[in-house]
Amino acid sequence: MSKQSIKLSVDAVVFGYEEGNISVLLIKRKYAPFKGNWAIPGGFVLNNESLEDAVERELFEETGIKINYLEQLYTFGMPDRDPRGRVVSIAYFALVRPDAFKIAASTDAEQAQWFNINELPELSFDHNEILKAAIERLQGKITYEPLGFELLDTKFPFSDLEKLYSTLLGRAVDRRNFRKKIIGLNVLDELDEKSSKGSGRPANLFQFNQKRYFQLKKEGIIFEI
Amino acid sequence: MSKQSIKLSVDAVVFGYEEGNISVLLIKRKYAPFKGNWAIPGGFVLNNESLEDAVERELFEETGIKINYLEQLYTFGMPDRDPRGRVVSIAYFALVRPDAFKIAASTDAEQAQWFNINELPELSFDHNEILKAAIERLQGKITYEPLGFELLDTKFPFSDLEKLYSTLLGRAVDRRNFRKKIIGLNVLDELDEKSSKGSGRPANLFQFNQKRYFQLKKEGIIFEI
DNA sequence: ACAAAAGTGTTCGATCTACACCCATGA
DNA sequence: TCATGGGTGTAGATCGAACACTTTTGT
Residues of chain B contacting residue A5, judged by C-beta atoms under 8 Å apart: 47
- Tell the burial category of B203 from Cβ atoms under 10 Å away from its Cβ (0-12, 13-18, 19+): middle
Find out whether B73 and B133 touch, Cβ atoms under 8 Å.
yes
Average pLDDT in chain B: 93
pLDDT at B219 exceeding the cut of 60: yes
What residues in chain B have their Cβ under 8 A from chain A's Cβ atoms?
1-2, 4-8, 44-51, 72, 74-75, 77-79, 86, 88, 90
Residues of chain A contacting residue B44, judged by C-beta atoms under 8 Å apart: 1, 4
Q: Which residues pair with A93 in a beta bridge?
A: A13, A71
Q: What amino acid occupies position B17?
A: Y
Cα distance between residue B211 and residue B151, in whole Å: 18
Asked whether the beta carbons of residue B4 and residue A74 sit closer than 8 angstroms, the reply is no
Q: Kindly report the length of chain B.
A: 225
Q: Is B148 helix (H, G, I), strand (E, B) or coil?
A: helix
Residues of chain A contacting residue B86, judged by C-beta atoms under 8 Å apart: 47-48
- CA to C1' distance (Å), from B70 to D12: 43
Query: Is strand C in 7 Å reach of the CB of A193?
Result: no
Residue of A nearest to B45 (CA): A4
Query: Is strand D in 7 Å reach of the CB of A202?
Result: yes
Q: Which candidate from A45, A47, A86 shows the least CB-CB separation from B47?
A: A86
- CA to C1' distance (Å), from A68 to C7: 31
- Tell the burial category of B57 from Cβ atoms under 10 Å away from its Cβ (0-12, 13-18, 19+): middle
pLDDT score of B58: 95
pTM of the model: 0.94
The residue lying closest to nucleotide C27, measuring its CA against C1', is B199
Asked whether the beta carbons of residue A88 and residue B51 sit closer than 8 angstroms, the reply is yes
Q: Which candidate from B4, B78, B90 shows the least CB-CB separation from A75?
A: B90
Q: Supply the DSSP string of B187-211, one letter for each residue.
A: -EEEEEEEE--SSSPPEEEEEE-HH
- Tell the burial category of A91 from Cβ atoms under 10 Å away from its Cβ (0-12, 13-18, 19+): buried
Find out whether B29 and B122 touch, Cβ atoms under 8 Å.
no
pLDDT at B107 exceeding the cut of 70: no
pLDDT digits (tens, 9 = 90+) for B68-96: 999 999 999 999 999 999 999 999 999 99
Mean pLDDT over B167-178 rounds to: 96
Asked whether the beta carbons of residue A4 and residue B45 sit closer than 8 angstroms, the reply is yes
pLDDT score of A113: 92
Residue bearing the bigger pLDDT, B170 or A110 = B170
Asked whether the beta carbons of residue A44 and residue B77 sit closer than 8 angstroms, the reply is no
Asked whether the beta carbons of residue B45 and residue A77 sit closer than 8 angstroms, the reply is yes
Give the nucleotide nearest to A158 (CA→C1').
C6
pLDDT-above-90 percentage for chain B: 82
pLDDT at B111 exceeding the cut of 90: no
Find out whether B16 and B115 touch, Cβ atoms under 8 Å.
no
The domains located in chain A, with CATH, are 7-141 (3.90.79.10), 156-219 (1.10.10.10)
Residue of B nearest to A8 (CA): B6
Strand C bases within 7 angstroms of protein beta carbons: 3-10, 16-20, 23-27
Asked whether the beta carbons of residue B77 and residue A47 sit closer than 8 angstroms, the reply is no
- CA to C1' distance (Å), from A152 to D22: 29
Find out whether B94 and B17 touch, Cβ atoms under 8 Å.
no
Per-residue pLDDT of chain A (225 residues; tens, 9 = 90+): 558 899 999 999 999 999 889 999 999 999 989 999 999 999 999 999 999 999 999 999 999 899 999 999 999 999 999 999 999 999 999 999 998 877 766 655 568 999 999 999 999 999 999 999 999 999 999 999 999 999 999 999 999 999 999 999 999 999 999 999 999 999 999 999 888 777 899 999 999 999 999 999 988 888 988
pLDDT score of B89: 98
Q: Which candidate from A1, A8, A79 shows the least CB-CB separation from B88?
A: A8
pLDDT digits (tens, 9 = 90+) for B6-63: 999 999 999 999 988 999 999 999 998 999 999 999 999 999 999 999 999 999 999 9
pLDDT digits (tens, 9 = 90+) for B126-141: 999 999 999 999 999 9
